[in-house]
Amino acid sequence: MPKFFQFASITKKVTLALIGIFLMVFILVHLGINLCMLREDGGAWFRTAAHFMGTNYIVKVFEIVLFASVLLHIVLAVLIQIHNWRSRPVGYKSRSRSKTAPASKLMIWSGILIALFLGVHFINFYFAKIGLVEGRYIIEVKAIEEGYKVKQQTLTNAYSEAKTEEERAQVEKDVTAFQENLQIFQENEKFGKALQGGFEYIEDLSKDEALEYAVELLAKNGNVIDSQKLLNEVKAREELASTGIGNGVAIPHALSEFATNTMLAILRLEKPVDFDAADALPVDLLFLMTGPKTNTPLHLKILSKLAHSLHDEKFRTSLREAPNREVIADLIFQKK
């Protein structure tokens, strides 16, 4: 029998308890992130948290640790139960009322509920995300369009039924917000065409010079109100945490009032630049992204798509070997 299975029962129980505490902390943090949706900020906190959880390099590693912890927790629980059965193969002749705490008595049922929750969660979200199964909670575009039509009709009816100026003003405010969301949705549908920016190949720049070069590249399209102020915001974001996601890739980004459209600049650096990335590798592929705060959903969608795509080694290699900017553009827009 492997040495792991020969550990003392108390060692297994302590390990089981520590993993249980770790998993409970995870569930509480997860719940806290979901509760961000209840804030009256238009979902800003939730989108920021969701973006972090979906793109951060450390979180990707943490996902593996979390999955391994769930499996180890189950294995330890089964081993302890088997040990208990073997220690007392014959049951008690008569059973008396136990003085065990209610939490311990109900542990089997609470454990089953949590296991079911995790099972559904892994199957419909995590496994769907990595492509092992087809997600059941992926909303189709057709369903979204129908939802917008219903909302539009509801607002039309509300305006016709409004009796006071205050009620009409509120409906008009709702209509404005609805139109903005509809515009963002339509831009999402034209994802590839929505990106306005540039592609450039440069030889020898520092990190700050590369960021400045990328901002100026975007400014050439006439969609930057103030290049220096936009650059300052990009640098300020970079000071919070490096946007080097590893494998020689960085995605500096900032939502800014000085950008009039969602834009992406791509630099392929002949001499890699130190970006304080998580894996300490210098960066030779730089994707600078910016856009107005009114385009936050589109901004986050593109950012998430880029981060996910750039973790693909074959995709990164194709970008590095692309002979010209047209090929790079095709690779970016055609990536699933």
What are the residue numbers of the active site?
253
> In the numeric block, which tokens belong to residue 137?
């909670």
CA distances from 251 to 49, 232, 260, 284 (A): 17, 16, 19, 11
DSSP one-letter string for 141-200: HHHHHHHHHHHHHHHHHHHHH--SHHHHHHHHHHHHHHHHHHHHHHHHHTHHHH-EEEEE
Residue 229 contacts by C-beta under 8 Å, 6 or more apart in sequence? 256, 258
Are the C-beta atoms of 263 and 221 separated by less than 8 Å?
yes
CA distance 85 to 217: 70
Q: How many residues does the chain have?
A: 336
